[in-house]
Chains A and B, each alone.
Chain A
Amino acid sequence: MTEVKNLEELFQAKIDAEQKIEPKDWMPDAYRKNLIRQISQHAHSEVVGMLPEGNWITRAPSLKRKAILLAKVQDEAGHGLYLYSAVETMGTSREQTIEDLLSGKAKYSSIFNYPTLSWADIGAIGWLVDGAAIMNQVMLCRTSYGPYARAMVRICKEESFHQRQGYEIMAVLAKGSPEQKEMAQDALNRWWWPSLMMFGPTDANSPHSAQSMKWKIKRQSNDELRQTFIDRTVQQAEVIGLSIPDPDLKWNEASQHYDWGAIDWTEFNNVVAGNGPCNKERLAARNKAHNDGTWVREAALAYAAKKAKRKAA
């Protein structure tokens, strides 16, 4: 018992001294579990996130936009791969992690349970969804677990490009025809609140946050990150002439931040509980891809085994 206590103290001392925790280092079970949950959720979000965007690849309105979108969705698949590898460093196989997604046991970011209904949604996802994700991910570049932090450095570079391309899509639409501007505004109206929900519950309602902060898995609270995102995004919307769909939004001179309206947490809880507009479709699509791919993966394994056998003979 004393020994574990000492190990925990050493572990915490290492974190306090800003040293990274590496896969072979001792770590408390709760730290490991917390990270496996967080990184795998993050990996699943990248992979499920390919679906709403992939939905528009065949319909992108110019070849340049099509190429950018293809490259972007390809990046998301790559992020999924790094993150599944990061989970593996904690001792959980990629197969198991994916199995948990397919069975509905593991969660992914609820934002991807919303549908992409127009081309402008591709802009809104890049601008708002990737923009919100970056807030979290920039913080995670300094997270205490080494492999996760290093995966994040690379992911952040690409996400920041995604955010810019999304904003640019919106900017072009906003200065286009009245119909295009309406399309952009409609997308902003639909994606704004779900994007704010991406930061998670308020600090008062986020029970695991304190421990995550102590372990430096997280370094800023949900509410702090959300506020930074709002302050930045409101100004970006102004620049391109779109309105944030929040009647309570106003600049607060005293706090030097925007005040804003109340998030509908009932909607958030509903989507998390599986009742969002596309929860069933997303999970069904992942399961179908996995099941349809079974024979492909089996063939690859069978061939590799035959080849190895022939080489040995």
Chain B
Amino acid sequence: MSNALFTYTLRLADDLLILSQRLGEWCGHGPVLEEDIALTNRALDHLGEARNLLTYAGQVEGKGRTEDDLAYLRMERQYTNVKLVEQPNGDYAHTMVRSFLFDAYHLPLMQALLKSTDEQLAAIAGKSVKEATYHLRASSEWIIRFGDGTEESHQRAQAALDNLWTYTGELFESDAVLEEMTKAGIAPDIAAIKESWSKTVDQVLSEATLKRPADAFMMTGGRKGLHSEHMGFILAEMQHVTRAYPGAEW
């Protein structure tokens, strides 16, 4: 049980940590100053939630690992985030579509986790729901602006959607860990999260006049630590200072 809880908590944390890392790359390079602020805010919220989850994962594991041990001293095979969040930023449409596809999953997940039988996860979700609500609203608004904005923005948003769609299946995969967590009332029923996600996606894409891609081949592997080639570079950049000075305090 504690093994599955550790894995489950880590998965939640890794999605947020890696997405935050990607969003942090934008800092100082946003399309307009207000968006620079919004992007760093988003990165900061995800990082805050990831830190809470990593700390908790370390406690559940019971081997004394801290948030930093888990963030900085695992290799990519031990990272369990979905491949969606490790995809490169691309243009602003790619970044926003990636966030939108994630936010539309993250919000109902957090809302459902409020009722988790695991008090700590419920408490973390309690902190996150407000932020997640804002994130989904903001990314939805950009998808609508892009889709219903100019010809160019429409094309860019559709291209991003077509490109990233293959990474959405992984958000709703189930396996023995998730089944155990769901049975214990710790994790919500993932099918219900998918239904909510799908509804949000349809609503927003329809208002944006964008086309929902067909569910063709879906990428998989992230939850088992099988990532895209991007992941090694993300971790190399994130971890190199910490690893160069083992045991140092910062």
Chain B: residues with Cβ within 8 Å of the partner, total of 47
From B1-9, B30-38, B192-200, B224-232, give the one contacting chain A.
B30-38
Verify if A70 is at the interface (C-beta below 8 Å from B): yes
Nearest CB on A from B124, distance (A): 15
> Contact between B150 and A293 (Cβ–Cβ < 8 Å)?
no
Q: Which residue of B lies closest to A71 (CB)?
A: B44
Verify if B28 is at the interface (C-beta below 8 Å from A): yes
* Number of residue pairs A-B, CB distance < 8 angstroms: 140
> Contact between A179 and B245 (Cβ–Cβ < 8 Å)?
yes
Q: Main secondary structure on chain B at its contact with chain A?
A: helix
Nearest CB on A from B135, distance (A): 15
Report if A65-B250 is in contact (Cβ < 8 Å); known contacts: A179-B245, A289-B30: yes
Verify if B146 is at the interface (C-beta below 8 Å from A): yes
Verify if A299 is at the interface (C-beta below 8 Å from B): yes
> Contact between A293 and B248 (Cβ–Cβ < 8 Å)?
no
Contact with A along B35-78 (1 / 0, CB 8 A): 11100110110011011001000000000000110011000000
> Contact between B145 and A299 (Cβ–Cβ < 8 Å)?
yes
Verify if A292 is at the interface (C-beta below 8 Å from B): yes
Within 8 A of B (CB), among A272-313: 285, 288-289, 292-300, 302-303, 306
Report if A297-B31 is in contact (Cβ < 8 Å); known contacts: A176-B249, A180-B248, A303-B149: yes
> Contact between A298 and B47 (Cβ–Cβ < 8 Å)?
no
Query: In whole angstroms, how far apart are the Cα atoms of A293 and B95 in the complex?
Result: 13
Report if A50-B36 is in contact (Cβ < 8 Å); known contacts: A58-B25, A292-B91, A296-B92: yes
Query: In whole angstroms, how far apart are the Cα atoms of A64 and B44 in the complex?
Result: 11
Query: In whole angstroms, how far apart are the Cα atoms of A302 and B40 in the complex?
Result: 25
> Contact between A63 and B248 (Cβ–Cβ < 8 Å)?
no
Nearest CB on A from B141, distance (A): 9
The range of chain A's interface size is: 35 or more
Query: In whole angstroms, how far apart are the Cα atoms of A306 and B237 in the complex?
Result: 42
Q: Which residues of A contact B242 (CB under 8 A)?
A: 61-62
> Contact between B24 and A63 (Cβ–Cβ < 8 Å)?
no
Query: In whole angstroms, how far apart are the Cα atoms of A67 and B67 in the complex?
Result: 13
Interchain residue pairs with CB less than 8 A apart (25): A50-B36, A53-B28, A60-B241, A61-B245, A61-B250, A62-B68, A62-B250, A63-B54, A63-B68, A64-B250, A65-B250, A66-B24, A67-B44, A70-B44, A77-B37, A177-B245, A285-B28, A289-B29, A292-B29, A292-B31, A296-B31, A298-B153, A299-B146, A299-B149, A300-B149
Q: Which residues of A contact B (CB under 8 A)?
A: 47, 50-51, 53-54, 57-67, 70-71, 73-74, 77-78, 80-81, 84, 119, 169, 172-173, 176-177, 179-180, 285, 288-289, 292-300, 302-303, 306
Among all A-B residue pairs, the 5 with the closest Cβ atoms: A293-B31, A299-B149, A299-B153, A54-B28, A296-B31
Beyond A66-B24, A289-B31, 9 additional pairs, beta carbon < 8 A:
A57-B43, A61-B72, A74-B27, A78-B37, A81-B33, A288-B29, A292-B31, A296-B31, A296-B35
